[in-house]
Chains A and B, each alone.
Chain A
Amino acid sequence: MEYEVMSAEAPGRKQVNILGATFEDGKPSGEECGRWRQKLNSRSEQLKYLETAERYWYGKEWFGSEKRKNPA
């Protein structure tokens, strides 16, 4: 995913580059708005996403019905 970089004025340092918003627009529009998977570019990003987002099958760090902190 490409991060947005914004330019802002910092006290005593004039213009500095800072990381922009990483959240999505509240109401995205346009033909491409639903195409979220294309935001993940590199293979490592995609594998990382599987490990976190699809953690139920591919993650090590998660808790749920089959991975309780205190086993039932």
Chain B
Amino acid sequence: MAEEARSIDPATLEMIDKAREDGSSNVFERSSNMKPCPIGLEGSCCRICSMGPCRVPLPKNKEETAEERAKRKGVCGATAETIAARNFARMIAAGSAAHSDHARKVTETFLLAAKGEAKGFTIKDEQKLLQVALNFGVKIAERSNEEIATEIGELVMKEFGRQEGELTPVKSAPLKRQELWQKTKVTPRGIDREVVEMMHRTHMGVDQEYKSIMSQAMRTALADGWGGSMLATDLQDIMFGTPAPVLSQINLGVLKKEDVNIIIHGHEPQLAEMLAVVVQDPGIIEYARSKGARGINLAGMCCTANEILMRHGVPIAGNFLQQELAIVTGALEAIVVDVQCIMQGLADVAQCYHTRVITTDPRAKMTGAEHIEFDEHRAWESAEQIIRTAIDNFPNRGKNIRIPDQKTDLVAGFSHETINYLLGGLFRASYRPLNENIINGRIRGVAGVVGCNNARTVHDNAHITLVKELIKNDVLVLQTGCSAMACAKAGLMLPEAAREFAGEGLASVCEAVGIPPVLHLGSCVDNARILIAATAMVKDGGLGDDISDLPVAGAAPEWMSEKALSIGQYFVGSGVFTVFGTTWPTTGSKELTEFLFKDYESIYGGMWAFEADPYKMAELMLGHIDKKRKDLGLDKARDRVLYDMAMRRELDAV
């Protein structure tokens, strides 16, 4: 890939150039030097026992003969279908585990906060607490918030180790969907159980029928979307507040030359929440000034950024592929990381500059980084120690500083609760206006565009191109993760973007409600908010009885992580047509790929697709949305006809 084709973001391109000048490595350069293994890429390499690794690639540039196909087996006899399914299922298990272990950590902090053992953490959103209490059947009456929260925390903790029955959040899904899951035996029983069973069934010599493997993969993914992720979002909302609209800025230009710059990067919000509070402490600001800085500038990266953006408006320095480039500015005192999507390359890049890479989670250490453990029992002190370390580093800044000018305004904070409120107000909160506008054709449908960045494709290009295509065609777009950040950088998350980029119908609705055509719903665990929004659309009525009836579609155009596959799988299992871009990990088995892309629709009402070209991806999604509109009898745009007396008389006469 030519250098200028690595990203469409000018700030990123500027920092790639600077990195080259400075002789510092980065993900873009490493991806040019390291080509992906073609056999692993198509899911045809098995390394789960020491008789292998066995490689069973699909023949290139020709149709496979029956004989060749029969020979494509591992030493143990495992077929290409079994091998590809096992690889795919294990990726889903890892993704589900990541989101769910995040949820477990949040639950631990939540319990400490409920018991008053985590100084600085409290119950911020009583209403969400009551909502979750209703979900779990916890008695409310006159009990204190802390008592209710303790009981909720203990019940949520049990969801992880649950062995039988159904996960509690599953009850929030549309009734028809719940029945379908029961019928197909994929209702998740317990969060950990499904992941463990998936790992067992993909061990050497266990489940060797690809459809059966994929059935457990579905249960494992649903344990993420309707389990771990949903619970993480709920408890985070209770502790830190349910997001409401907030104005902020995004891109590397949010770093400030005169300030101590600290980036918090990763996924869990606990530490970030505390850092956001402690950086405002007058004593700490004074300490920064004593070192020659004007003040302290906290910015976020990846999903931790989304969490504190949604709740505090803390600016975002960039998305996944920009993490090393933030160090390349030469103006970053510390990059503070917790878990997930943190490149080990950070430690290498930091060697060329003064930046300190600080790991904070006992589950995620890194060679070459320093570790300052974040302890929830003494959250303030931990946060203060980290910030002081960054401040102490300010005088070590070199002269080689260049911060790109680029930064864009955005409005974030669209939780399900806030969308419901914005559509109807405090006295008539409702999804009715959204459904009505889908029925009358002003809004063609709704799309969830989510996921990561991937160095194997042009940074941000597929996200922005796809989303622009969708909104131009009157599709309201809901976003999370690094995809949301890409579109925010392109100015799509401002109310003004409706007039500039959206189709006439969508623009008119956005302007009436006062929302952007692209709504930021948060981090990757917050994809659970999209599931709830889709369920509210179903339950409100007029658009069918299940999520699979809705004119909706999902996409992750630049996905790279195992978490993205888990998210995609639970969206498909919830009835959503979901398209992934960049690459697809089961192409080594045509049979398995057909099963996921075609047969899934008849089982779950949703199916996977792969398309690297964002324009064609938009076409696929619009085609699916139109098919659903047709099935609902909405294929012709119909404005509501208001009958006057003459028309009524005419009707009566018939």
Contact = CB atoms under 8 A, between A and B. Distances in A.
Contact of A36 (B421, B538, B539): B421
A39 B538 CA distance: 28
B427 A22 contact: yes
A65 B426 contact: no
A11 B418 CA distance: 42
Interface in B536-569: 536, 538-545
Contact of A37 (B127, B431, B544): B127
Contact of B538 (A27, A50, A58, A65): A65
A27 B512 CA distance: 11
Contacts of B535: 56
B125 A65 contact: no
Nearest to B171: A57
A34 B241 CA distance: 13
Contact of A54 (B125, B174, B420): B420
Nearest to B141: A43
Given A1-B426, A34-B413, A54-B420, A66 B130 contact: no
A63 B413 contact: no
Interface of A: 1, 22-24, 27, 33-37, 39-40, 43, 46-47, 49-50, 52-54, 56-58, 63-66, 68, 72
Interface of B: 125-127, 130-131, 134-135, 140, 172, 174-175, 241-242, 244-246, 413, 417-418, 420-421, 424-427, 429-431, 514, 535-536, 538-545
A65 B545 contact: yes
Contacts of B244: 34-37
Contacts of B514: 27
Nearest to B245: A34
Contacts of B418: 34, 36
Contacts of A24: 425-426
A72 to B, nearest CB: 8
A65 B127 contact: no
A53 to B, nearest CB: 3
A56 B246 contact: no
A51 to B, nearest CB: 9
B425 A49 contact: no
Contact of A43 (B126, B131, B172): B126
Contacts of A52: 429
Given A22-B427, A53-B420, A37 B125 contact: yes
A40 B538 CA distance: 27
Nearest to A32: B244
A56 B413 contact: no
A28 B542 CA distance: 32
A54 B421 CA distance: 10
B127 A46 contact: yes
Contacts of A35: 244
B594 to A, nearest CB: 32
B536 A50 contact: no
B539 A64 contact: yes
B420 A47 contact: no
6 contacts: A33-B245, A36-B421, A49-B127, A54-B131, A65-B540, A65-B542
Given A34-B246, A36-B418, A65-B545, A43 B130 contact: yes
Given A34-B244, A36-B426, A53-B420, A47 B541 contact: no
A66 B425 contact: no
A24 to B, nearest CB: 6
Looking at B126, B134, B244, B426, which has the most chain A CB atoms within 10 Å of its CB? Answer: B426
A20 to B, nearest CB: 15
A46 B134 CA distance: 12
Nearest to B142: A43
Contacts of A27: 514
Given A1-B426, A66-B545, A37 B536 contact: no
